[in-house]
Amino acid sequence: MHPMAAGGEHDEVTCVDFWANGFGMRVRIALHELGVGFRFVEEDLRVRERSELVLRMNPIHRSVPILIHLGRSICGSINILEYIDEVWGQRVSTRLLSRDPLERAHARFWADFVDHKVFSTQTMFLKSKGEEKEAAKAELLGQLKCLEGVLGDKNFFFGDEFGFLDIVLIPFSSMFRGYEQHGEFDLEVECPTLIQWEKRCKEMESVKHVLPNEEMMYELHKKWYGIE
């Protein structure tokens, strides 16, 4: 948590989310990172119907996470991260996104890659079998290696500070042990740079606070995707 906690007594912040939701972990990590106090309202995604709160606060997508600030909802994890950065990052002078426009554009580009490439490949990998699963595994490893290229020899994606893109990607690491079991490979061998980055991120208090138990994550995904 930031030494100067940003959430004042006049801020009413609620995060509606499910403990195993990687998109929502981003929001909770960002709030912890900037020292914003918040109320957590759990939306159980194992239940099919969405709560009245979710239907009211996110009628378009009916999904979580949802950030509720002073009674107004902000939806979509990337959008929420930018909102958190603009509202509270400003107050504590710790920005999640770089002040440099080019770095900001790159961070958003790779965040989009994580959401639209890595996430869908992960889904394909977990739900497929045989040749399709092997192809998805190769694609997933290729995408993770591509992210290793972005990381290069830096500690975090944009240098020495843990920031926006680290927050976007680190929740996926709670499935890394699941990937290894499901695909029978060792990520330390396949993507050593990414694993070193994962270890560095997991030293952050905000990350420690939010990332769930990895075995429980994989067990839940096994049920969701019908993995034997």
The count of C-alpha atoms lying within 13 angstroms of the C-alpha of 122, restricted to the half-sphere facing its C-beta, is: 23
CB of 78 to ligand GSH, least distance (A): 6
Closest CA to 31 of 70, 72, 80, 64: 80
CB of 190 to ligand GSH, least distance (A): 25
Which CB, 62 or 177, lies closer to ligand GSH?
62
Q: Decide: 13 and 31 in contact? Cβ < 8 Å.
A: yes
Which CB, 34 or 80, lies closer to ligand GSH?
80
Which CB, 76 or 163, lies closer to ligand GSH?
76
CB of 110 to ligand GSH, least distance (A): 15
Which CB, 62 or 117, lies closer to ligand GSH?
62
Which CB, 17 or 33, lies closer to ligand GSH?
17
CB of 60 to ligand GSH, least distance (A): 11
Which CB, 15 or 147, lies closer to ligand GSH?
15
C-alpha span between 121 and 33 (Å, rounded): 29
Which CB, 77 or 174, lies closer to ligand GSH?
77
C-alpha span between 48 and 26 (Å, rounded): 23
C-alpha span between 156 and 136 (Å, rounded): 27
Report DSSP letters for 11-40, one per residue.
--EEEEE-TT-HHHHHHHHHHHHTT---EE
CB of 76 to ligand GSH, least distance (A): 5
Closest CA to 224 of 45, 55, 49, 62: 45
Burial environment of residue 13 by CB neighbours within 10 A (0 to 12, 13 to 18, 19 or more): middle
C-alpha span between 153 and 197 (Å, rounded): 10
CB of 51 to ligand GSH, least distance (A): 10
Q: Which residues bind ligand GSH (CB under 6 A)?
A: 21, 23, 45, 50, 62-65, 76-78
The SS3 call for residue 178 is helix
CB of 111 to ligand GSH, least distance (A): 10
